Amino acid sequence: MADALGWRKRIGFVVPSTNTTVQPEVDDLRPRGVTFHLARVSIKERPLTSEQAFLEHVQAMRDGLGAAIEQVMTSAPDHLVMGVALEAFWGGVAASQKLEAELAEKAGVGITMGSTATAAALRAFGATRIAILTPHQPRGDEMVRAWFVESGFDVLRLKGLKCPSPREIAHVQPATIRESLRELDGPDVEALVVVGTNLAGAAVAAEGERWLGKPVLAINTVLTWHALRAIGIEDRVFGHGRVLEEH
């Protein structure tokens, strides 16, 4: 017998413990009969301004993924979203493919990651010339840029907001994201990408598509879109961006 609320499908999300943005953003996108279930990777709220601290932070997220997956899989989701943005890009395409395969084997269900989901959305729009906004320090920006370039995209511009700690990513205000999108845009850009699952970019990205006249892909919106389509939920969700309306 199906769940009373999730009678169509259930989707699990694994996010960092410091993340306060994924849950409210993805809940706004949930079709009727589909339920979302979160588990958290325990990490510390700490400054990330040194190379050593940043690498320790990345390792802590990697170390905690297994336990978080085991926790959320007890709710028997039909699909799993890896809502840790930086891990999805770290090490290039081969490393992300290896990580996705490992997570799928552990979970026993299909996996959605921010890197491959965003690439799929860009290809759905036929966009290859992109600009990227991240909350990361320069080391993280290097990984994001390298992954997209390796995947065949032309990264024309990238701006990292250099947020000083994991939790402070969620403190970035809509005005900052809006100004950054305008700064990154240009006639040479076919689409803009907002990376960082704790960066509250979903509403600003949907708004930005109207005044920029091109796709603006916020990662939490793209993650949800990709996961829904992967499990056969084809509902068009309106008011939250073109990817959910058109693809």
3-state secondary structure of 46: coil
Q: Residue 52: what pLDDT?
A: 75
Q: Same domain, yes or no, for 20 and 31?
A: yes
Contact status, residue 225 vs residue 243, Cβ threshold 8 Å: yes
118: left (phi over 0), alpha (psi -120 to 50) or beta: alpha
Can you say how many angstroms the Cα of residue 172 is from the centroid of all Cα atoms in its chain? Answer: 16
With cut-offs at 50, 70 and 90, classify the pLDDT of residue 45.
Answer: confident
Cβ contacts of 144 within 8 Å, gap of 6 or more: 86, 89, 132, 134, 136, 158, 195
Residue 247 belongs to some domain of the structure: no
- pLDDT averaged over the chain? 94
Give the pLDDT mean for 166-188.
97
Q: Same domain, yes or no, for 134 and 99?
A: no
Q: Residue 156: what pLDDT?
A: 98
Pick from 16, 168, 138, 27: nearest CA to 87: 16
Number of domains present in the structure of the chain:
2
Q: Same domain, yes or no, for 131 and 153?
A: yes
Q: Residue 87: what pLDDT?
A: 86
Give the pLDDT mean for 156-167.
94
Q: Same domain, yes or no, for 18 and 109?
A: yes
Q: Residue 62: what pLDDT?
A: 76
Residue 1 belongs to some domain of the structure: no
CATH code at position 52: 3.40.50.12500
Name the one residue in this structure whose structure tokens are 């598509």: 209
pLDDT beyond 80 at 126: yes
Q: Same domain, yes or no, for 71 and 149?
A: no
CATH code at position 142: 3.40.50.1860
Q: Residue 86: what pLDDT?
A: 84
Q: Which two tokens stand for residue 82?
A: 């890896």
Residue 196 identity = G
Q: Same domain, yes or no, for 134 and 79?
A: no
Q: Same domain, yes or no, for 50 and 123?
A: no
Domain span at 207: 117-218
Q: Residue 155: what pLDDT?
A: 98
pLDDT beyond 90 at 44: no
Give the pLDDT mean for 175-193.
98
Q: Same domain, yes or no, for 92 and 124?
A: no
Q: Same domain, yes or no, for 71 and 166?
A: no
pLDDT beyond 90 at 61: no
pLDDT beyond 90 at 203: yes
Residue 161 belongs to some domain of the structure: yes
Residue 4 belongs to some domain of the structure: no
Q: How many CB atoms lie within 10 A of CB 121?
A: 25
With cut-offs at 50, 70 and 90, classify the pLDDT of residue 181.
Answer: very high
